[in-house]
């Protein structure tokens, strides 16, 4: 059993891909194809999706640094990795289970690949909006770039599902989770990290100083009294 499951050659077919193919699939992930008569092809490889998840982790770390948030070393990295990989693996498993109930023709590896390449739009949106801080620009990218990647996944699932009710349940769930996850990363990610820090620090410990202390403002009355005392002394 150890020789069977510890053999790395089992994973080799899922990562044997050329860079040109990855580039083509990244571009295709932003182009919805309206074809429901035949099942659309899904790449059965995990190299591109895995690299996109790591890229999303790096973008989240970059967003925390540009927001001038200082936390203890290691906590932010673990939270970013847990958030990205948790969404990728968790939502893929949930949608695969839902696809099994709806009789959709898709495997677990194909679901991981489909959702992984769907994160390409999230990476573009977050990278731009973390550097250009305008909420209106974020909503434009959220609807435009994020919507295109979501429509691409929906179109693939529609072509592999039979029945209007099954298509509505499966595609509606995937679209809602994918778009809401992008909103979560943009608005709630900093609050999640700060909440984890407060939990780790405990209620009895002094709060972790994240900003420089403000210098107390001295009132004009104190300044006048000090000046008068110095004048009388002289």
Query: pLDDT tens digits for 87-127?
Result: 999 999 999 999 999 888 899 999 999 999 999 999 999 98
Residue with the bigger pLDDT between 209 and 188: it is 188
Instruction: Look at residue 97 in the predicted model and tell me its pLDDT.
Output: 94
Q: Which helix (H) or strand (E) holds 115?
A: helix 108-118
Residue with the bigger pLDDT between 230 and 163: it is 163
Instruction: Look at residue 208 in the predicted model and tell me its pLDDT.
Output: 42
DSSP letter (8 states) at residue 214? P
Q: Can you tell me the distance from the alpha carbon of 26 to that of 60, in angstroms, rounded to the nearest whole number?
A: 20
pLDDT at 210 over 90: no
Instruction: Look at residue 185 in the predicted model and tell me its pLDDT.
Output: 87
Query: pLDDT tens digits for 9-34?
Result: 777 888 888 889 999 999 999 988 87
Query: pLDDT tens digits for 152-203?
Result: 999 999 988 888 899 899 999 999 999 999 998 888 665 455 455 555 555 4
- Count helices and strands (H / E) in the chain: 11, 0
pLDDT at 218 over 70: no
pTM for the whole structure: 0.74
Domain spans of the chain, in order of start = 14-203
């Amino acid at each position: 059993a150890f020789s069977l499951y510890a053999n790395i050659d089992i994973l080799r077919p899922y990562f044997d891909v050329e860079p040109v193919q990855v580039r083509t699939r990244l571009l295709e992930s932003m182009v919805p194809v309206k074809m429901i008569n035949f099942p659309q092809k899904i790449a059965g490889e995990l190299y591109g999706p895995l690299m996109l998840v790591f890229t999303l982790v790096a973008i989240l770390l970059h967003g925390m640094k540009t927001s001038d948030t200082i936390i203890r070393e290691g906590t932010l990295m673990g939270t970013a990795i847990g958030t990205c990989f948790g969404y990728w693996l968790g939502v893929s498993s949930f949608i695969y289970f839902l696809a099994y109930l709806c009789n959709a023709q898709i495997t677990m590896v194909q679901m991981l690949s489909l959702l992984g390449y769907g994160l390409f739009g999230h990476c573009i949106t977050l990278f731009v909006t973390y550097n250009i801080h305008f909420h209106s620009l974020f909503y434009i990218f959220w609807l435009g770039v994020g919507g295109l990647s979501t429509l691409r996944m929906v179109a693939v699932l529609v072509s592999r599902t039979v029945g209007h009710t099954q298509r509505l349940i499966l595609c509606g769930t995937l679209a809602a989770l994918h778009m809401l996850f992008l909103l979560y990363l943009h608005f709630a990610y900093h609050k999640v990290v700060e909440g984890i820090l407060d939990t780790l620090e405990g209620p009895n410990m002094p709060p972790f100083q994240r900003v420089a202390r403000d210098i107390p403002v001295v009132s004009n009355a104190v300044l006048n009294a000090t000046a008068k005392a110095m004048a009388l002394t002289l």
